[in-house]
Amino acid sequence: MTSSSSCFQEEERTGVRFSWNVWPTSRIEASRITVPFGAMYTPLKHAASEIPCAPYEPLACKQCGGIVNPHCRINFEQKTWMCVFCHTSNNFPSHYAGMSESCLPAELFPGNEVIEYQLPQRSSIVPTFLFVVDTMLEPGDLRAAVVALQHSLELIPQYAHVGLVTFGEMVQVYELGFQQCSKHFLLRGDADHSRDSVMQMLDLGVKQQKRQPQVNGQGKGEDTTPAERFFPSLSDCEFNLSAIVDVIETDQQDKRPRHRPLRCTGAAMAVAVALTEICMPTGGCKICLFSGGACTFGPGKIVQTDLSCHYRTHHDFDKGSGPAMQLFGKSATHYEGLGVRLVQSGNSCDLFACSLDQVGAAEMYSMMEQTGGNIILSESFEHHVFRESLKKVFERKDGTGDLEAALSVEMEIKCSQEIKVSGLIGAALGMGKDSNLVSEIEIGEGRTVRWKAGTANKFSTYAIYFDIVMQHTDGQQQQQSLQTFHMQFVTEYTHSRGQKAMRVTTVTRRWAPPGSPEIGLGFDQESAAVLMARMAISRVEEGQDIIDTIRWLDRMLVTLCAKFGSYNSQGPHNFHLPQQFRKYPELMYHLRRSQVLQVFNNSPDETVFFRLALKKEGTYNSLLIMQPQLFAYSFENDGRSQPVPLDATSVAADRILVLDTFFVVLVHYGTTIVQWRNEGYQDKEEYAGFKAMLRAPRADAHHIAGNRLPYPKIVECNQNGSQARFLLAKLNPSVTYASGGQVLGGEAIRTDDVNMETFLEHLGRLVAAQRK
């Protein structure tokens, strides 16, 4: 039986976690299982120093391009190896002549399923940051944004290149390479600037003569490239950039009464994307957009300037028509086109939206999703969520001081001939590479075996879905000879220092005949739940109604439980699931209630923020988004943390609770704890234990938040306080106003939501009915 701990250990070792670790040798049997056959893949889970590295190019199969790996059959006498994917025999090159069974190269050593090849050719990619700053802010907010920008410059390595664009009613592009004075170009904010128009207006078609002061009547000119003009290295332009940033002021425009200010975010992003295409054609540039309000002018406009016109809401999405939706369609198309261009050039974009109102993240969503960028939502540029998230974006590697993020990432999949690739759901864009491994069934970014993202980090995880194409008769004939199948994940990327690398992960799993109990024993309910969650999000984003998506999840759950569960015909209460399936219905229950599917009380910007995080994070963090964790601190446990059920009965007056929802880390004090704290018991020497118990949850909350991007909001609240709603909204409502108030020390939750016990009871009835 495959346990969660063994699946976690496998994920820690290889970065790959499958929903099923034993696959049926029949396409018909696979279709009856309903939960997809897929994998959660984290290519950069380990640093290069933690895995074997080879300072040369890999050996590839001459037929299918598969990379040699420890699972290949080696003929040491003839110096040949057989590809595990197409079974083609390949010759080793001459420099492998000294290889023997006792002297193997790193890529063939048993256990080296993950290896990184440091490719000899050096990339021309350098880490580049283009700051696009909104100046249509209140003076205090703009000053906070400028301070954050200055702090960012301190975090960036000196060898990195930087650029600056500001926008309000117009777009200003700064030529940081011009050292004599502050020089910028002013572009219209109501125009959709193409690459050619930006090249013409900024005079970027040919090399320019750098003007230098004359000495004794003599002048000397040097050729300067577009990158040197607008993206000089930080070491060359730090003084000039700091002087420009210090004098950035709020955009001066005539503000009309009862109208929103003119803000041309869409035009500024069009100029920024064109600038990166021209100056950084090989990739490596990250656009950091600091936005403090909605785009009301030019391309990408999401709302009219008249305050009587409201922002689009989820109700507008349900109707599918109206002025707000017309603006949404045009704006989303504009940003989606920019996102495709960014990916194709190997660049990315991060959105830092710091406003109490919406800024248009829902329209810009595809731009971050396709490029591997981040969305950070915060109340202001002074909020700790923004400040700490900005630090994480520029995080350095331990010891080297280089940036941790990988640049211009491309990923390709090789697999056995009995399997085809249905698609990928994650922060990447399909490159349209056709292959005989492409399945007719398309899930997410399908019709390809190769994907690309502008950037990735150690948390970036991709959900890859597969299709078993072996027919039932073929399976009967081959199940005796076929015992295992292989998959290979090949990820090419560039380190921040320009070193190109290729990381190859090769894994193997087993086949089993249809109906074999080994299939169920190999089920990983946690990764399966995350794969289903990403599929549900994808269906909603493709236009399916949320209610229909939830019903689809319910049907898939009922079918799975009916196939692998056991029941007594006397009634649904005698329905039982095997150990490796018991947590799955609970995860589906919390997924149905989660913020990635339920949009009540959330703006469209907040909804895409939640969904992007689920589509980027690994299994553990994705489970937190679906089903938060709850820890209790009490004197019964000597003030130490203890996991408790995510249930209303876990709330007690003499407990401190810590709720981790991934986006919010909440510290909840019971009424008795609050009373003791207000009376100052923690300040008395004889109550040192109480003082320690008060400190522990805060320290743990900050420790949890410190390892996460985006940085979560840390909230402290008291029982029955207004912010306690963050906790009550996540708890299983086992105690409600209809159940007679507080029971067993729990807190009654005022809701009509179905609790988990009722949900599981109905599940048992539906399974019993389907089995009949």
Annotated domain spans of the chain: 4-115+428-514, 128-208+223-393, 628-731
Count the neighbouring beta carbons within 10 Å of the beta carbon of residue 92.
18
Per residue in 445-470, pLDDT tens? 999 999 999 999 999 999 999 999 98
| Angstrom distance (rounded) from CA 562 to CA 528 | 17
| Angstrom distance (rounded) from CA 748 to CA 651 | 10
Q: Give the residue from 596, 625, 623 showing the smallest Cα distance to 710.
A: 625
| Angstrom distance (rounded) from CA 747 to CA 695 | 24
pLDDT of amino acid 480: 44
Q: Give the residue from 167, 185, 168 showing the smallest Cα distance to 176.
A: 185
pLDDT of amino acid 147: 95
| Angstrom distance (rounded) from CA 247 to CA 414 | 54
As assigned by CATH, the class of the 128-208+223-393 domain is alpha beta
User: Is residue 369 within a helix (H) or strand (E), and if so which, with residue range?
Assistant: helix 361-371
Strands of the sheet with 171-174, listed across from one edge: 184-187, 171-174, 161-167, 128-134, 285-291, 348-354, 375-378
- The answer to whether 533 touches 622, Cβ cutoff 8 Å, is yes
pLDDT of amino acid 211: 43
pLDDT of amino acid 275: 96
Q: Give the residue from 263, 258, 285, 264 showing the smallest Cα distance to 274.
A: 285
Q: How confident is the model at residue 482 (pLDDT cuts 50, 70, 90)?
A: low
Characterize 211-240 residue by residue with b for buried, 16 or more Cβ atoms within 10 angstroms of its Cβ, and e for exposed.
eeeeeeeeeeeeebebbbbbbbbbebbbeb
Q: Are both 4-115+428-514 and 628-731 of the same fold? A: no
Count the neighbouring beta carbons within 10 Å of the beta carbon of residue 590.
18
String of DSSP letters for 479-530: TTT--EEEEEEEEEEE-TTSEEEEEEEEEEEEEE-TT-HHHHHTB-HHHHHH
- The answer to whether 36 touches 523, Cβ cutoff 8 Å, is no
| Angstrom distance (rounded) from CA 487 to CA 413 | 7
pLDDT of amino acid 470: 84
Q: Which two tokens stand for residue 671?
A: 């009424």
pLDDT of amino acid 476: 52
- Is residue 268 over pLDDT 80? yes
pLDDT of amino acid 570: 62
- The answer to whether 425 touches 463, Cβ cutoff 8 Å, is yes
pLDDT of amino acid 575: 79
| Backbone φ and ψ of 28, nearest 5° | -65, -45
Fold type of domain 628-731:
Severin (3.40.20)
| SS3 of residue 19 by DSSP | coil
pLDDT of amino acid 60: 96
Q: Which residue shows structure tokens 């909605």? A: 294
Characterize 691-706 residue by residue with b for buried, 16 or more Cβ atoms within 10 angstroms of its Cβ, and e for exposed.
bebbebbeebbeebbe
pLDDT of amino acid 751: 84
End-to-end CA separation in angstroms for the chain: 28
| C-alpha 587 chain-centroid distance | 20
Cβ-in-10-Å burial (0-12, 13-18, 19+) of 347 comes to buried
- Is residue 138 over pLDDT 50? yes
| SS3 of residue 294 by DSSP | coil
Q: Which residue shows structure tokens 């938040």? A: 705
| Angstrom distance (rounded) from CA 107 to CA 1 | 30
Q: Which two tokens stand for residue 456?
A: 């990735």
Per residue in 638-666, pLDDT tens? 888 999 999 999 999 999 999 999 999 99
Q: Which two tokens stand for residue 327?
A: 């603006």
- The answer to whether 283 touches 407, Cβ cutoff 8 Å, is yes
Q: What average pLDDT is seen over the chain?
A: 91
Per residue in 747-770, pLDDT tens? 888 888 899 999 999 998 898 888
Per residue in 307-363, pLDDT tens? 999 999 999 998 888 888 999 999 999 999 999 999 999 999 999 999 999 999 999
- Is residue 221 over pLDDT 50? no
- The answer to whether 187 touches 297, Cβ cutoff 8 Å, is no
CA-based Rg of the chain, rounded to a whole angstrom? 28
SS (H, E, C) 308-352: CCCCCCHHHHHHCCCHHHHHHHHHHHHHHHHHHHHHHCCCEEEEE
Q: What's the pTM?
A: 0.94
User: Is residue 186 within a helix (H) or strand (E), and if so which, with residue range?
Assistant: strand 184-187
Q: How many helices (H) and strands (E) does the chain have?
A: 22, 29
Decide yes or no: CATH 1.10.579.10 for domain 4-115+428-514: no
Q: How much is the average pLDDT of 65-93?
A: 95
Which residue(s) pair with 356 in the sheet?
A: none
